[in-house]
Structure 1
Amino acid sequence: MEPVKTIRHILTVEPVSFLFYTSMFLQNGGGQQFVFYKVCFLKYNQSDICWNLTLGQKMQQYQDMEDYSVSATSHWVILLNLPVTIPAIFTSICFGAWSDKYGRKPMMILPAFGFIVLSIFYLFEALNMEMPLEFLIIGNLIAGICGGFVAITFATFSYIADVTTKENRTVRMGILQSMTFSSSIVGLLTSGIIVENRQYGFIVLYCLVASCNVILIVYTQFWLPESIGPNKDAYFKSITKENNRGNTDEVTEFKCKVCCTDMWNPRNFKIVYQDVMKKRANFDRFMLFLLFMSLFILQIVLAGDSQIFALYAKDSIHLSPAETGYYTASKNAAMFVVAIVTLLIVRKLNLNEIRCCICGILIAVFGFLGVSLARSQDVLWAMLIFLSPVGVAVSIVRGAISKTVSPEEQGSVFAALSSLENLMVFVAVFIFNSLYPVAKGAPVFGGGYVYFYMAQLLLIPFILMMWVGDLMGFVVKDRLINDFIGDVVT
């Protein structure tokens, strides 16, 4: 049994993250095409023409159909994203404080259950093309109430913080962060291949989304050990004693009642706020603020890149949809490899993590500048070398945030962090989708001015992380001086 225990110690929430994000990228990758086909079919009832337009075939005689479908799809994508995203922000904050008392595993299972329900709604839509799209709003709302990817993000990162030491935490968080990059490659490429099958493509796609989440639930329930069992047991012991519950059945029933009611308790919002804003030793609270700001800017830039790249690549570099997909997959693969290799080297050689983060951000600044001026595929591909270290920076910042707070605050802090990151994605969508049409006429850069703007934004976390490094150095020196004075006095 020792080898099994060793594997369970090494292999923890990485498969959870990989499975959930793979299902999400499958959903997103094929979801827009599905909505495009549905709005076209429901409006014109021309299945063959709508299918050809969905696959990207240009037919001048049906330009009006394509224009309507593109416009309606944009409207529906926003409408379907709102009920799955906005509720997840608020429910995840409640779940974060709850998970610090009751455990991380339920917060991984619940979002997976929500996505299974969502995939069933999509499956019904795929089996009955006459069914209105409004039906999907209900499925998205259920997925959002269950926490969505916001809950999965805070639950998995909190779990890693629970089971690691400060020495190896950044590496483990880097590996966990890299699951997002690897799952995007699998999900986006797989969805593109599956959807090309007209008869069964969407049906197979949503069956696969549901299957990923079923496997996730089974893995979490039967393989993954709970990370905060002692705290949970102590808490239950105290509340059952306070409420005079002695019978075994009474205790079990009482535990379930407390778990369910406490999950949606508005008091959790106050707990999260207090955990994030509480006074800390030295400059820790201020450093936490700087780290939050750094991560938010990094996420705005990454979200902006994912939103705008397809348009920029088509307009300025003239990439085909297939070439755009290959480049995006290659970029994510490069981030995955560079993040893991770099963090392992940092751990092995005991290098300063904050300095490595600063170097990664600076290299990424040159990468985004290069993309802004790129007018050929060769230059664009060369910039992959400079863009990939941004994944290292994100992982190090997450690790630094986790090390700044106490173990019993991990769920609350990561829930607040994940929720605010989700808001930053909305900010990025608004900023860069509004800026790109205007920037296309800019001198020198043209549409690439958006990437020039991203490079400028990256200078903010570059400066903030230099500040964090100085504060950490000051704290270490102050502690050494105090230790020295204490030794002299004694």
Structure 2
Amino acid sequence: MASRYSSVYNSGNPHEANSNYWRTASFSSTYTKSSLPRERCPYKALQCLTSFYNAKIITVEPVIFLFMFAYYFYKVVFELYVFNRLGQETIQEHNEYNITTFNHCLTTQDINNFTWTNSSSTPPGNTVETRLAHLTLIVGVTARLPSAVTTLIFGPISDRFGRKPTLIISLVGMLLNSIVAIVIVLYTENIYFFILGAGLRGMCGGIAGIFTACYSYIADVSSKKWLIVRLGLLEAMTFAAGTLSLVTAGVWTQLNNCSFGPLVWVTLGCMVVAIPYTLFLLPESQDKEDIKEEKRPKPQAGPKALLRGLQIFFGRGYPRCKLWLLLLVMIVTILNTTGTMAIITLFLLHDPIEWTPIHIGGYLATSEMMHGLALVVVLPFLVCMGIKDSLIAIIGLILSIGANVSLGFADKTWQIYTIGAILSVDALILPGVKAMMTKTVQPVDHGALFSFVSAAQVLASVLGFAVFVPVYTTSLAIDWYHASGLSFLIMAALYGCMLPIMMVVWCLQRREESAPPPSPQSPPHMITSPSITSPPRLTGEHEKLFTHVQSELGQDILERRSLFGSFGASTELERSCQSSRSGSFRSYY
């Protein structure tokens, strides 16, 4: 090392010597691809698999797919099972039929044909639908409200102990829910035991917990350029799982004549696959060595860690105005998308559309597929075109406004499908908003951030059902040809209110990018008299860090960057090394 310093400081100009010193401290002048030692592993296939595993290119995508497939499949089976179970019990009460004599799927008309008499004021089939709606609401609230609370705890904990424990806890909750459902179906237990399964799933994190862990994991291992794409792919896994599970559950139930015994094992099987994958095949995203060596701040411990997500939005240290604006856009987007899911079936059944249930099922599956294609095809294309995250969200808002207005006045089949294809671009809003949130906070707070965001997302989804279902039923009383589409016009107005907010965020982002970088300052030992003739010495912690980065970390980072580019993992240490290759080691000091 002394010979290197002496060769650098042969110049008589001390300022030139200082500049040369920092220039030679970069990786670009110290290591090249040809100077790296050869890989010791003689098997190239194993070497490629090992590098692929370490690069974290395919990570939590299979986990979120299996979880959401199990969730949607369970939802369909739960609703159909409860409806048929209540229908059979109602028929048995009015006629002395045995419950097991019905080996086909019941409809509301079947229940009325067996039970309804002129003396009864309300058709029994409608009563069954009302009881199913009430139980569905209770199960949904029981699962979502605890998950909104527990995710505020699991998020900050995952910042300290890793993302895998949170993932496993959420998967175990779904596993317990599946076991409860199996017991209810196979042993014909009380249907209100479904509330117990929903409570267990919610206390283990539920959907909010799994999304918190997955979003935080992706934020840990992705570079800034490709973060929005990987978040979009994560959302695409949700839509793909929803499409496949809705079609599979409906067709399988119909072919099986509503015999639910084999169907309830599907969710359990998904969790049996997902849990071992998470335990043994999924690498941890957190670099614990960095935390131990204090190369980034440690997450808070103790009671403060439980509310770290709230501190990010209410405390100091981050641009709270920008975070709150982005959170508001996210809440309105969830509100509208959930409201659309809640009323779209009723809207398509009502005049002037009046579709059949089979036609509606095909449209819903097509809509889910179009949302997935928007995230897999359109989103990466926009990123490759160099469009910023804020502009991608703005594009999604503008197209969503036009699509909702058109849907409110649609009355033909071709219009519904065309508008549905355009409306699928609302899937671009959430990845753009979440990517901007992630880039606003430090990596050490990703788990806390997404815990608060997921909790808000769950509450917004509950609010979407509570708001738009009454709005839709009330609008039907209006004497207007397009009264059933009034809810979509309200959604378009809400999106329109969010458009100026995203324009403000876009202006803030442009101002941050155009701001001049802070003037570089020399380390204390470099501020010396112009008459200096001897090179500065790195002592103590500085020299130890200099040697550690060059000898131990530079090789692995350069190899992985050259093999997989910037699409793979991007930890805080890699970003620091990338900065050092373009300049100096001053970021470490």
Q: State the one-letter code of the partner of 1:385.
A: A
Cα 1:476–1:311 change in 2 (3 A) is same
Matched, 1:288 2:323: yes
Q: Which of 159, 181, 197 in structure 1 is aligned with 2:239?
A: 181
Matched, 1:118 2:177: yes
- Percentage identity across aligned positions? 23
Deviation at 1:474, TM superposition (A): 1.9
Q: TM-score, normalised by structure 2?
A: 0.73
Aligned to 2:216: 158
Looking at structure 1, the residues matched to 287 and 108 of structure 2 have their Cα atoms a distance apart, in angstroms, of 52
Looking at structure 1, the residues matched to 293 and 105 of structure 2 have their Cα atoms a distance apart, in angstroms, of 58
Deviation at 1:204, TM superposition (A): 2.0
Looking at structure 2, the residues matched to 319 and 87 of structure 1 have their Cα atoms a distance apart, in angstroms, of 37
Looking at structure 1, the residues matched to 511 and 381 of structure 2 have their Cα atoms a distance apart, in angstroms, of 25
Aligned to 2:48: 3
Deviation at 1:147, TM superposition (A): 0.6
Aligned to 1:419: 455
Matched, 1:101 2:153: no
Structure 2 unaligned spans of 5+? 1-45, 117-122, 295-300, 523-589
Contact 1:294 1:460 in 2 (8 A): no
| CA deviations over 1:179-236 (Å, ceiling 9, x no partner) | 1111110111111122224567422222110111111111111111011141697399
Contact 2:152 2:307 in 1 (8 A): no
Q: Tell me which protein shows more helix as a share of its residues.
A: 1
Cα 1:54–1:423 change in 2 (3 A) is farther
- Determine helix, strand or coil for the equivalent of 2:264: helix
Deviation at 1:144, TM superposition (A): 1.1
Matched, 1:234 2:269: no
Deviation at 1:360, TM superposition (A): 1.6
Mapping 1:337-486, distance limit 5 Å: 337-442=373-478, 443-479=480-516
Q: State the one-letter code of the partner of 1:354.
A: S
Deviation at 1:410, TM superposition (A): 0.3
Matched, 1:270 2:307: yes
Looking at structure 1, the residues matched to 281 and 371 of structure 2 have their Cα atoms a distance apart, in angstroms, of 29
Q: State the one-letter code of the partner of 2:87.
A: C
Q: State the one-letter code of the partner of 2:482.
A: F
Deviation at 1:278, TM superposition (A): 3.1
Q: State the one-letter code of the partner of 2:48.
A: P
Mapping 1:291-330, distance limit 5 Å: 291-316=326-351, 317-330=353-366
Cα 1:56–1:291 change in 2 (3 A) is same
Looking at structure 2, the residues matched to 51 and 298 of structure 1 have their Cα atoms a distance apart, in angstroms, of 42
Looking at structure 1, the residues matched to 372 and 64 of structure 2 have their Cα atoms a distance apart, in angstroms, of 14
Cα 1:202–1:329 change in 2 (3 A) is same
Q: State the one-letter code of the partner of 1:165.
A: S
Aligned to 2:59: 12
Looking at structure 2, the residues matched to 324 and 56 of structure 1 have their Cα atoms a distance apart, in angstroms, of 18
Looking at structure 2, the residues matched to 228 and 81 of structure 1 have their Cα atoms a distance apart, in angstroms, of 33
Residues paired across the two proteins, number:
456
Deviation at 1:273, TM superposition (A): 1.7
Aligned to 2:278: 220
Q: Which of 22, 31, 41 in structure 1 is aligned with 2:88?
A: 41
Mapping 1:10-159, distance limit 5 Å: 10-45=57-92, 46=97, 47=99, 54-55=106-107, 60-61=112-113, 62=115, 64-129=123-188, 131-159=189-217
Deviation at 1:42, TM superposition (A): 3.6
| CA deviations over 1:10-44 (Å, ceiling 9, x no partner) | 11111111110000000112211111122233444
| CA deviations over 1:334-359 (Å, ceiling 9, x no partner) | 11111221221123222223122211
Aligned to 2:370: 334
Contact 1:103 1:232 in 2 (8 A): no
| RMSD of equivalent CA atoms | 2.5
Looking at structure 2, the residues matched to 218 and 419 of structure 1 have their Cα atoms a distance apart, in angstroms, of 27
Contact 2:59 2:282 in 1 (8 A): yes
- Determine helix, strand or coil for the equivalent of 1:344: helix
| CA deviations over 1:278-337 (Å, ceiling 9, x no partner) | 3246xx321111111101100100000000000000013111111111111111111111
Looking at structure 1, the residues matched to 140 and 103 of structure 2 have their Cα atoms a distance apart, in angstroms, of 23
Looking at structure 1, the residues matched to 59 and 410 of structure 2 have their Cα atoms a distance apart, in angstroms, of 41
| CA deviations over 1:240-291 (Å, ceiling 9, x no partner) | xxxxxxxxxxxxxxxxxxxxxx8xx75433322223333246xx32111111
Aligned to 1:240: none
| CA deviations over 1:109-160 (Å, ceiling 9, x no partner) | 111111111111111111122x212222222211111111110001000000
| CA deviations over 1:381-425 (Å, ceiling 9, x no partner) | 111232011111211111111111110100001010001110001
Cα 1:34–1:469 change in 2 (3 A) is same
Q: State the one-letter code of the partner of 1:143.
A: R
Cα 1:270–1:385 change in 2 (3 A) is closer
Q: Which of 269, 277, 296 in structure 2 is aligned with 1:211?
A: 269
Structure 1 unaligned spans of 5+? 237-261
Looking at structure 1, the residues matched to 176 and 366 of structure 2 have their Cα atoms a distance apart, in angstroms, of 32
Looking at structure 2, the residues matched to 309 and 114 of structure 1 have their Cα atoms a distance apart, in angstroms, of 30
Cα 1:367–1:51 change in 2 (3 A) is farther
Q: Looking at CA atoms only, which structure, 1 or 2, has the larger radius of gyration?
A: 2
Contact 1:101 1:231 in 2 (8 A): no
Contact 2:394 2:502 in 1 (8 A): yes
Q: State the one-letter code of the partner of 1:211.
A: G
Cα 1:6–1:25 change in 2 (3 A) is farther
Contact 1:22 1:183 in 2 (8 A): yes
Cα 1:164–1:43 change in 2 (3 A) is same
- Determine helix, strand or coil for the equivalent of 2:516: helix
Q: State the one-letter code of the partner of 1:127.
A: L
Q: State the one-letter code of the partner of 2:58.
A: L
Q: State the one-letter code of the partner of 1:473.
A: R
Deviation at 1:440, TM superposition (A): 1.4
Deviation at 1:478, TM superposition (A): 2.9
| CA deviations over 1:17-76 (Å, ceiling 9, x no partner) | 111000000011221111112223344435479776635655653453311210111111
Q: TM-score, normalised by structure 1?
A: 0.87
Looking at structure 1, the residues matched to 69 and 293 of structure 2 have their Cα atoms a distance apart, in angstroms, of 35
Contact 1:194 1:202 in 2 (8 A): no
Cα 1:402–1:50 change in 2 (3 A) is farther
Q: State the one-letter code of the partner of 1:32.
A: E
Looking at structure 2, the residues matched to 235 and 421 of structure 1 have their Cα atoms a distance apart, in angstroms, of 35
